[in-house]
């Protein structure tokens, strides 16, 4: 018997709260805000350490990210320093390093004469225990649902990012964030409802559970607010709250990843 089951309904195919880091996010920025964007991460998966560096353009210009080449990118893992190599214009990687939960990572970027720093401690890993598909009536339609469970760690603040992909043919991933304010230490059951009418038998449903730190959670939370409210704003919105110093936009995240997949049947 579960001590407590917390069920949260997420609507993800028609409305996207956040876009994954592979998708370009267009933000209207004031001219004075045009600057370096750093998107860095390391996870507990092999080959995951990479940093993307670009320069944003003014809000009234074509919003195409401009990669920044020739930067010096350093990652310190619990006191041991590593240099990331530029694998493509603006993309820096360290494929041989795998992140370890509990380790503290320090990122330092020297680009165009400016230094940008960030520190992030990788949280303890929480894994998806169960993922299964079901159907639910929403309004008058019957929709596919993805149901998953995980055990929250008691006594500490836990912050999560859910990545849900309901059609591998389109390789589209929708992202939601969460925290354990209302279910600390409990067995958690979440429910995602898909309104994607292109799902067919044989398609693969993918779900990822990321354990992120509080500063990265705040970045995604403020980014979600900007995306959700920008369409109705007359003035240029504020920038997402970054954990990078030196005036850069973006984030640096050290997080764990738990993955599950399930095949759609008739």
Residue of 265 and 123 predicted with greater confidence: 123
Per-residue pLDDT reduced to its tens digit, 232-259: 443 445 688 999 999 999 999 999 999 9
State how far the Cα of 192 lies from the Cα of 144, in Å rounded to an integer: 9
Farthest CA pair distance, the chain: 59
Give me the mean pLDDT over the 86-107 stretch. Answer: 97
Q: Are 178 and 8 in contact (CB under 8 A)?
A: yes
Q: What is the mean pLDDT of residues 97-105?
A: 97
Residue 168 has pLDDT above 70, yes or no: no
**Helix, strand or coil, per DSSP, at residue 129:** strand
Between 210 and 19, whose confidence is greater? 210
pLDDT confidence bin for 107, thresholds 50/70/90: very high
pLDDT in tens, 207-236: 999 999 999 999 999 987 877 654 444 344
The number of residues making up the chain comes to: 266
This prediction has a pTM of 0.83
Residues 6+ positions from 47 with CB-CB distance below 8 Å: 95, 98
The position carrying tokens 């859910």 is 162
Q: Does 186 score more than 60 pLDDT?
A: yes
**Tokens 């970027």 correspond to what residue?**
109
Q: Check if the beta carbon of residue 205 is closer than 8 Å to that of residue 172.
A: no
Q: Give me the pLDDT at residue 4, please.
A: 41
Q: Is the pLDDT of residue 151 over 90?
A: yes
Nearest to 98 by CA among 266, 257, 261: 257
Q: Do residues 211 and 159 make contact, with C-beta atoms less than 8 angstroms apart? A: yes
Q: Is the pLDDT of residue 155 over 90?
A: yes
Q: How confident is the model at residue 143 (pLDDT cuts 50, 70, 90)?
A: confident
Query: Within 13 Å, how many C-alpha atoms sit on residue 184's CB side?
Result: 6
Q: What is the pLDDT of residues 52-69, one digit of tens each?
A: 999 986 444 455 779 999
Strand locations in the chain, DSSP E?
9-11, 18-19, 36-43, 50-55, 66-67, 72-77, 80-83, 85-88, 91-93, 104-111, 114-121, 128-138, 141-151, 159-165, 174-179, 187-193, 204-212, 249-263
Residue 121 has pLDDT above 90, yes or no: yes
Of 147, 220, 218, the closest CA to residue 187 belongs to 147
- What domains can you pick out in the chain, each with its CATH number? 29-123+245-257 (2.60.40)
């Amino acid at each position: 018997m579960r001590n407590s089951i917390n069920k949260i309904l997420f609507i993800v195919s028609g409305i996207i709260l956040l876009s994954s880091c592979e998708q370009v996010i267009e933000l209207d920025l004031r001219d004075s805000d045009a600057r370096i964007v750093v998107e860095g991460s390391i996870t507990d998966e092999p080959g995951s350490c990479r940093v993307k560096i670009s320069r944003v353009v003014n809000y009234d210009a074509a919003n195409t990210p401009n990669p920044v080449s020739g930067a010096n990118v350093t990652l310190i893992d619990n006191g041991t320093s590593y240099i990331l190599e530029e694998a493509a214009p603006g993309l820096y990687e360290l494929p041989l390093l795998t992140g370890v939960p509990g380790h503290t990572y320090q990122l330092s970027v020297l680009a165009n004469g400016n230094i940008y720093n960030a520190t992030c401690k990788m949280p303890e890993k929480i894994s998806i225990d169960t993922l299964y598909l079901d159907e639910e009536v929403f309004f008058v339609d019957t929709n596919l649902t993805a149901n998953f469970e995980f055990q929250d760690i008691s006594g500490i603040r836990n912050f999560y990012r859910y990545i849900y992909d309901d059609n591998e043919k389109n390789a589209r991933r929708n992202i939601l964030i969460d925290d354990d304010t209302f279910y600390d230490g409990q067995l958690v059951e979440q429910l995602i409802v898909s309104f994607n009418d292109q799902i067919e038998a044989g398609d693969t449903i993918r779900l990822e559970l990321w354990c992120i730190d509080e500063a990265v959670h705040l970045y995604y939370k403020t980014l979600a607010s900007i995306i959700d409210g920008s369409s109705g704003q007359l003035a240029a919105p504020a920038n997402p709250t970054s954990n990078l110093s030196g005036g850069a936009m973006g984030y640096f995240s050290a997080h764990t990843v738990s993955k599950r997949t399930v095949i759609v049947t008739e």
